[in-house]
Amino acid sequence: MSLCLEYGYTSLNKKGEELCGDRVEYAKNGEYTTLVLADGLGSGVKANILATLTSKILCTMVSNDIAMEDCIETIIQSLPVCKVRQVAYATFSVVHINEQGEGYLFEFDNPPAIYIHDGKCTELAREKMVILDKTVYKSELKLSAGDYIVVMSDGVIHAGIGMLMNFGWQRKEVMEYFDKNVRPGMTASCVACLLAGACNDLYLDKPGDDTTVAAVRVREKLNVNVMVGPPVDKTKDDFYVERFLSGEGKKVVCGGTSSLIVARHLGKKVETSFDFPDKDVPPIGHIEGIDLTTEGVITLRKLLLLSEKYLSNTDLTPKTFKKQDGASLLAKVLFEEGTDITFFVGQSINAAHQGLPIDITMKLKLVESLTSNLKAMGKRVTVNYD
């Protein structure tokens, strides 16, 4: 089984603050991915500076295999001291893990991480370490496919204090919420957004503290090949289609002309749906042997908007796609299911677009922007121009 890592986070700013006092940084170095969630003392600009420095220093040092003792010493020497409290302080959680799910977790004064295994929350064994008079907890990680590690700032367990709950949302309730609401196959971004959204509800949309949830998930790899537009050399249609169809994984075709070329190669017909689940997105088609067939430029334009919303760390819209229009179905395949995505982009000028404000440059720019956003989601993306 070929595995890989997926990560995502969502942040809520304290009511009235433009800057978040929490910060998430991640880095990939070889097989290992390092994710750091830091929570700066207080809120606003000062907290943001403390959290930013802490997360960047830790992420850089840990990803380069520098000992935690040295990392903490560097942080203590680097953070500016608060004039009011006379301390330089930021709490943190550090996940350092490879694609087989092996690694470790370090935690300092953040709420303990939650480990989700087989769809249920469980506790991690924690080893107490004292480094420069600071108590840090270390946990060995050995995750299986489908497991999650969820780290959070204390805004999570403060949610609802004096509002809907007397003493906030305790860890037990957070775990019960996950047990009821986490579904198999949910992305790391979806799980993080799920908990952050629940916290926002408990705060009645007025967070009393900066609140950040970050999740790391171990999952199986899934290749997705996407054909966008016909190739320039019509005599090589079959060659390009063969290449697009090669390998394991899902196959997606975007565009009417592309669909006809693929259907002809397969000896099948393109059957067009007459359902309009979304009036702004053209209907999808069906080709036997192809996982998804959609219209081209208009659908890709809507997909780009969905990708920008999905990437937003402050947008609380559920990071899952249940609608049946072409753009939502494409988003589900690319954002939720796929890990390794290959685009086959034909650069032929489509005769059907003559007289319309659509040209090859627009299509190429759309693919370029989508590629950038998919990479920001942690996907491995390859683009072939034909």
SS (H, E, C) 270-289: CEECCCCCCCCCCCCEECCC
Residue 246: CB atoms within 10 A of its CB come to: 10
For residue range 109-158, what is the model confidence (pLDDT) as tens digits?
999 999 999 999 999 999 999 988 889 999 999 999 999 999 999 999 98
Residue 139's φ and ψ, nearest 5 degrees, are: -125, 130
Predicted pLDDT of residue 111: 95
Question: With 80 as the cut, is the pLDDT of residue 168 above it?
Answer: no
Predicted pLDDT of residue 134: 87
Task: Catalogue all structural domains in the chain, each as residue range(s) with its CATH number.
Answer: 3-219 (3.60.40.10), 223-385 (no CATH)
Cα 32 to Cα 91, 98, 149, 221, 336: the distances in Å are: 23, 4, 15, 16, 22
Of 385, 207, 374, 230, nearest in space to 304 by CA = 374
For the entire predicted model, the pTM comes to 0.91
Q: What is the mean pLDDT of residues 317-337?
A: 95
Which residues lie across from 381 on neighbouring strands? 341
SS (H, E, C) the chain: CCEEEEEEEEEECCCCCCCCCEEEEEEEECCEEEEEEEEECCCHHHHHHHHHHHHHHHHHHHHCCCCHHHHHHHHHHHCCCCCCCCCCCEEEEEEEEECCCEEEEEEEECCCCEEEECCEEECCCCEEEEECCEEEEEEEEECCCCCEEEEECCHHHHCCECCCECCCCCHHHHHHHHHHHCCCCCCHHHHHHHHHHHHHHHCCCCCCCCEEEEEEEEEECCEEEEEECCCCCHHHHHHHHHHHHCCCCEEEEECHHHHHHHHHHHCCCCEECCCCCCCCCCCCEECCCCCEEECCHHHHHHHHHHHHHHHCCCCCCCCCCCCCCHHHHHHHHHHHHCCEEEEEECCCCCHHHCCCCCCHHHHHHHHHHHHHHHHHCCCEEEEEEC
pLDDT, mean over the chain: 91
Q: What is the mean pLDDT of residues 86-90?
A: 71
Question: Cα torsion for 351, 371, 338, 150, to the nearest 10°?
Answer: -150
Contacts of 28 (CB under 8 A, 6+ apart): 34, 63
Predicted pLDDT of residue 79: 80
Q: What is the mean pLDDT of residues 73-78?
A: 86
Contacts of 196 (CB under 8 A, 6+ apart): 10, 11, 12, 211, 212, 213, 316
Do β-strands 22-29 and 32-40 pair in parallel, antiparallel, or remain unpaired?
Answer: antiparallel
For residue range 240-281, what is the model confidence (pLDDT) as tens digits?
999 999 989 999 999 999 999 999 999 999 998 888 888 899
Tokens 């060995």 locate to 140
Tell the burial category of 361 from Cβ atoms under 10 Å away from its Cβ (0-12, 13-18, 19+): exposed
Of 52, 67, 84, nearest in space to 129 by CA = 67
Contact 33, 97 (CB under 8 A): yes
